[in-house]
Amino acid sequence: MKQSRRIAGSILVGALCFAMAMPAFADSKSDVSSQINSLEGQASELESELASMKANKTSIESYIAELDTKIKETLSALDTVSDEIEQTDQEIKTTKANLKEAEANQETQYEALKARIKAIYESEEDASFFKVLLKDADLKSVLNSQEYKSRINMYDYELYNSLEATTKQIQAYEQELGEKQDSLTKDKDSYEQQMSELDTILNERQNELSSLDDSMRAAYSDISDIQSQIDAQNSKMASILAEEKAAAKAKAEHEAAVKQEASKNTDTKKSDSSTKKTDTSTKKNTEPTKTETSAPETKTPETSAPETKVPETEAPSNDNSYVSDGKVLSKYHGVVYGPTGKETYYNLDMSGVVRIMRDMGFSAEDYPYWVRDDGCKMLGSYIMCAANLNYFPRGTTVASSLGTCLVCDTGSFAASNPTQLDIATNW
């Protein structure tokens, strides 16, 4: 009876020790994994938005460069027109001066011809004819009259006509310069209007680019914040896994102790039973005249605790024979179906993922990061891959068409295809 109490007490103490060893997680592993998946989904969406903003920024910068070229061309044309207008203004001033001088010379010659005509014909008998002409008609009419041409030296007539032609030529040139100036002024107004429109568009695009830069900075900041939250959740997951491992070890030790105690108790019972039988036999031999009736002995069945085996981690493998559809994932076979299911590949900076794995206990000495000859990114002897963490938690190994993979990352694809593997490569 005392021994039975001692066994019960031993088991109770062991159970209490095991219960103390079991972690009281504030968050379950599935909760943390779900949180990580959610955060990584948010980060993926932000990265997609960021990629779109980068493409838009490149387009805007290209358009601004085109606007700059157009503005420079328009400025050059505007400068040329402005110089031509200034030159034309100077020519107009010079032409006006020449015209004024020509008109003055023509007026002087006009008066001289009038005087000469009077001097020549005042003494003649028919001078009254010319007096009438000079009185009733202008000098041009007199000079053009046939009577005058037949009586005066032709030099006077030609000189007057030459002065008149010079005056008309200067007047025509003045008119031509005026028309040229009007045309240049219209061109200048047109270029100035173009400049105003180009400046407006340029300011709009520059404001858009500035706003886009602000949005990109905000996206980078949000991604950084989310990554910090992911790192915190990964650290929490590493703690949970470590505590689970410690709990499993404590459980195994407890079950081994229970088994050992049960085995000792069984041996003790067998020994006591053997001693009791020997004593009874002796008593019967020494007291032959006394008849005793004893109840039949009932043997208590022995119960042993079930043996629990601590799970072992499978050894690394680089076997490339895992092919289900006859194809091995490559740059030219971007989607294949391997032993685990659908396989794709991605090429991103793995420094953050490697840091997470280091925090989980995958040391740089035992699991160095390197790139295999075929382009697979490796952690130790394993190919790094992303998977659905609810199906394949971080740190588990899965078979692929390229060899054994170590789950180090996850992505939004996991929501639609929980058995898909996204293998890290440099393709």
For residue 143, pLDDT beyond 80: no
Lowest-confidence region among 89-93, 147-151, 345-349, 391-395: 147-151
Token pair for residue 160? Answer: 């007057």
**pLDDT tens-digit series, residues 359-398:** 999 999 999 999 999 999 999 999 999 999 999 999 999 9
List all residues 6 or more positions away from 34 whose beta carbon is below 8 Å from its beta carbon: 390
Confidence band, pLDDT 50/70/90 cuts, at residue 354: very high
Q: Are 297 and 277 in contact (CB under 8 A)?
A: no
Domain boundaries of the chain, sorted by first residue: 14-273, 336-424
Tell me the C-alpha distance between 370 and 25, whole Å. 35
Q: Are 425 and 328 in contact (CB under 8 A)?
A: no
List all residues 6 or more positions away from 369 whose beta carbon is below 8 Å from its beta carbon: 350, 354, 377, 378, 379
Tell me the C-alpha distance between 350 and 409, whole Å. 9
For residue 24, pLDDT beyond 60: no
pLDDT attached to residue 95: 87
List all residues 6 or more positions away from 418 whose beta carbon is below 8 Å from its beta carbon: 388, 390, 391
Report percent pLDDT > 90 for the chain. Answer: 28
Lowest-confidence region among 111-115, 149-153, 415-419: 149-153
Q: Which CA distances in Å does 227 have to 33, 159, 222?
A: 15, 100, 8
pLDDT attached to residue 200: 93
Tell me the C-alpha distance between 31 and 231, whole Å. 15
Return mean pLDDT, the chain. 76
pLDDT attached to residue 333: 81
Confidence band, pLDDT 50/70/90 cuts, at residue 156: low
Q: Which CA distances in Å does 108 have to 87, 102, 111, 174?
A: 32, 10, 5, 22
**pLDDT tens-digit series, residues 115-135:** 766 666 665 545 555 555 555
Lowest-confidence region among 173-177, 209-213, 261-265, 357-361: 261-265
pLDDT attached to residue 195: 87
pLDDT attached to residue 325: 63
pLDDT attached to residue 101: 85
Tell me the C-alpha distance between 146 and 67, whole Å. 71
Q: Which residue has the higher pLDDT, 191 or 277?
A: 191
Bridge-based pairing of strands 369-371 and 397-400 is: unpaired
**pLDDT tens-digit series, residues 242-293:** 888 888 888 888 888 888 888 777 766 666 655 555 555 544 444 444 433 3
User: Which neighbouring-strand residues pair with 385?
Assistant: 407, 423
pLDDT attached to residue 162: 81
Confidence band, pLDDT 50/70/90 cuts, at residue 409: very high
pTM above 0.75, yes or no: no
DSSP 377-390: EEETTEEEEE--TT
Terminal CA-to-CA distance of the chain, rounded, Å?
A: 73
Confidence band, pLDDT 50/70/90 cuts, at residue 171: confident
Summarize the confidence of residues 12-38 as an average pLDDT: 61
Q: Which residue has the higher pLDDT, 111 or 320?
A: 111
Backbone angles phi, psi at 418, to 5 degrees: -65, -20
- For Cα atoms 166, 167, 173, give the angle at the middle one, nearest 5 degrees: 90
Tell me the C-alpha distance between 260 and 256, whole Å. 6
Burial of 310 (0-12, 13-18, 19+ CB in 10 A): exposed
For residue 9, pLDDT beyond 80: no
For residue 342, pLDDT beyond 70: yes
Q: Which fold has domain 14-273?
A: Helix Hairpins (1.10.287)
Helix, strand, or coil (residue 327): coil
Summarize the confidence of residues 406-422 as an average pLDDT: 89
For residue 113, pLDDT beyond 50: yes
Question: Helices in 127-153 by DSSP H: which ranges?
Answer: 127-136, 139-144, 146-151
pLDDT attached to residue 305: 35
Q: Which residue has the higher pLDDT, 38 or 134?
A: 38
User: Which neighbouring-strand residues pair with 377?
Assistant: 371
Helices (H) and strands (E) in the chain, counts: 7, 8
**CA-based torsion, 248, 254, 255, 256: positive or negative:** positive
Element (H, E) at 370: strand 369-371
